[in-house]
Structure 1
Amino acid sequence: MGDLAVGARSGHEGPEERPGRSEERPGRPEEPVPPAAGDDVPPAEGSGGHGGGDEPAGDADGAAPAPKKQRSFWKELPLLIGIALVLALLIKTFLVQAFSIPSDSMQNTLQQGDRVLVDKLTPWFGSEPERGEVVVFHDPDKWLAGEPTSEPNVLQTALSWIGLMPSAEEKDLIKRVIGVGGDTVECKDTGPLRVNGKALNEPYVYPGNTPCSMDDGGGQFKVKVPEGKIWVMGDHRQNSLDSRYHQQDEHKGFVPVGNVVGRAVVVAWPPTRWSTLPVPDTFDQNLSAAAPGALGLAGAVPLVLWRRRRLTAGDTRVSGSRTAG
């Protein structure tokens, strides 16, 4: 009976021990042993060294980093002004420029003191002035000689430099295009004004004025516009020293297309005068100088064909008579 008790204990004198990590049991893989309470556990990767992985990393002493300080508005203001000036210069040079109306020569379409915006973009793409447009152009032959000019102050000079005001040094005029290269423009008696033989209906002419002036200085004329030139007139016909009165100049009253700054498209100031400057309907009629020639050619073709048929018929009769004889 004592042997049975000893066999049950497998020959060990002391109490049984649970196999640990250092012991291996034959035929079974090693099982990990969970750490005992109180053991030191290394931090998991990406935890930042402190139990919660979602907390932002701070300084060595645990304080959060200070937020970046925004730049002061006053420090950014010069940069903003510089960008605005560059954009204004680009707009003035290539897109739109403001001009002031200094006289009454374009009444009532434009009043003295009006500010107009001039389209300078389309000429860059090869567009040339068209009949009926109101255009600004550089003085071609000292048309403004003797005209008084005001002395601008510092503010006006700065604004004109960036294009917000017209420059007092620029000698520019504003008139309406009546004829382009190849056109024949004619004024006889008091009118109407004719382009390539067709009368213009001009409601824009200043009330009380006649389309043509009965004077010897240039009111009565018949001119053919050379290619690359335009013929311009003011809407206030009896108060405009336009192409009519400069026919003795170098360009004979014509304005070179290269002198045209651009087309006035909008009256921008004062607000009560705001309006667009479209081409009047009278210029929508076919005013092309080639139209009379084309009509003449169309009328001549049937006549030539009829004459040729008669000559051919006559030759046949002569030939037949000779054959018969």
Structure 2
Amino acid sequence: MNIEDRDPAPVVPDEPESRSSAVQASDEAAATPGKPGKKQKKHLPVWQETILLLGVALVLAIVIKALFIQAFYIPSESMEPGLVKNDRILVEKPSYWLGGTPQRGDVVVFDDPGGWLDAEESAGPTSGVGKLLAKVGLYPTGGHLVKRVIGVAGDTIKCCDDQGRLLVNGQPLNEKDYAKLDGQDCYGPMVDDCTKNWTIGPIPAGHLFVMGDNRSHSADSSAHMCKPDETDCTRNPYVDVDDVVGKVFTLLWPRDRFTFLHRPDTFADVPDPS
């Protein structure tokens, strides 16, 4: 018998795919395009995502305030003309990490050394919203002052030369670009209205002598130092370095006066204390 005479093998038709299986596979493919067999993860409701994002933002704000940058405002006219009452400023903290200390000419924010502020100035925000914003650095807290560092540990400061300038370790300061005089003849009038010269120092280790740029209206170190004719004076004119929050680096608001603050060049000429 020739091979052509043999009966062909019966053709077995393909077994039809069950309807349920086809529907299931189709649903899975639709659920996750390109990844058959895996279901797409469900998203959180919008309100839950909003709460989560706010929580993350709050934690980041607290960390940034504690370690890097904090917002403050200028509470008085003592830093005019550069910083005006109610100006918003930013203070950065890393400059004084790892042994770094404030330098002459820096504008710094610091805790009240003791008795420099009255009860109202030390109180800070009273509303619930203000207290919450203060905790994350978006609202100024009470009990702080902002001044310019004039002298550091070991320095001797004298007022004044024949041009009314302060001398630090014998070097006169040219402060006309940033300091303000209100009808006074010297840059250190808070002690005795420029009627007599005065000298203070050497400044103790770990301390600073600070002054406001508005020299006639600033409750600063010169306003709290003992006058030459006082015999029983116990006032403290110095700021402890450990009480310094950080260095002011930006005038943030009002927007039209936004600027970065820099250390005046005149302080570069001051020699180290002998």
TM-score interval, smaller chain: 0.7 to 0.9
Match of 1:222 in 2: 199
Letter aligned with residue 170 of structure 2: G
Matching residue within 202, 205, 220 for 1:242: 220
Partner of 1:309: none
Runs of 5+ in structure 2 lacking a partner?
32-39, 227-232
Task: Quote the Cα distance in structure 2 between the aligned partners of 1:100 and 1:214.
Answer: 24
Cα deviations across residues 186-241 of structure 1 (Å, max 9, x unaligned)?
11377210000010000211154531328538984211211111110111111111
Counterpart AA for 2:251:
V
1:178 and 2:150 correspond: yes
Instruction: Give how far 1:58 is off.
Output: 5.0
Task: Read off the aligned partner of 2:150 and give its amino acid letter.
Answer: I
Equivalent of 2:3 in 15, 18, 38: 18
Partner of 2:141: 167
Q: Is 1:261 equivalent to 2:250 in the alignment?
A: no
Query: 2:27: which partner in 1?
Result: 64
1:20 and 1:159 map into 2 onto residues whose CA distance is 97
* Alpha-carbon distance in 2 for matches of 1:250, 1:123: 29
The corresponding residue for 1:232 is 210
Q: Is the 8 A contact 1:213 1:220 kept in 2?
A: no
TM-score normalised to structure 1 length: 0.68
Following TM superposition, by how much is the alpha carbon of 1:286 offset from its aligned partner in structure 2, in angstroms? Answer: 4.2
Cα 1:166–1:151 change in 2 (3 A) is closer
- 8 A contact 2:251–2:260 mirrored in 1: yes
Q: How far does residue 59 in structure 1 lie from its aligned partner after superposition?
A: 4.6
Kindly indicate whether the alpha-carbon contact (under 8 Å) linking 2:191 and 2:222 is maintained by their aligned counterparts in 1.
Answer: no
What is the match of residue 64 of structure 2?
Answer: 91
User: What CA distance in whole angstroms lies between the structure 1 residues aligned with 2:107 and 2:245?
Assistant: 11
Give 3-state SS (helix, strand or coil) of 2:85's partner. coil
Go from structure 1 to structure 2 and tell me whether the alpha carbon gap of 1:20 and 1:242 turns closer, same or farther (over 3 Å shift). farther
TM-score by length of 2: 0.80
CA RMSD of aligned residues (A): 3.0
In 1: Cα distance, 2:50 partner to 2:191 partner: 60
Contact 2:225 2:237 (8 Å CA) reproduced: yes
- Give unpaired runs (5+ residues) of structure 1: 1-15, 22-34, 44-48, 51-56, 291-325
Larger radius of gyration: 1
Higher RCO, 1 vs 2 (CA within 8 Å, ≥6 residues apart): 2
Question: 1:217 touches 1:245 (CA, 8 Å); kept in 2?
Answer: no
Residues paired across the two proteins, number: 249
